[in-house]
Amino acid sequence: MSTKPYHHGNLKGELLRVAEEIGREEGPESISIRQVTRRVGVSLTAAYRHYTD
């Protein structure tokens, strides 16, 4: 995880932004929820709270 704590009002939007960033850098097949949450600096479970599936 990031050493800087996450303080953003729109976690869902930030997760999507970072997923797009990873997709552009490494290709869409490389996007994973673990990698996205690591870059954003939140726990894996924090991300799941924002999505129903």
Rounded CA separation 31/9 (Å): 23
25: tokens are 């850098």
pLDDT at 12: 86
pTM, two decimals, is: 0.75
Instruction: Please compute Rg for the chain using Cα positions.
Output: 11
pLDDT at 1: 47
Rounded CA separation 29/24 (Å): 10
Instruction: Classify residue 50 by its DSSP letter.
Output: T
- CATH, domain range 11-48: 1.10.10
Decide which of 11 and 35 is more confident. 35
**Contact between residue 13 and residue 51 where contact means Cβ atoms under 8 Å apart:** no
User: In the chain, what are the domain boundaries?
Assistant: 11-48
> Which tens digit of pLDDT belongs to each residue from 20-49?
999 999 999 999 999 999 999 998 888 887
Burial of 36 (0-12, 13-18, 19+ CB in 10 A): buried
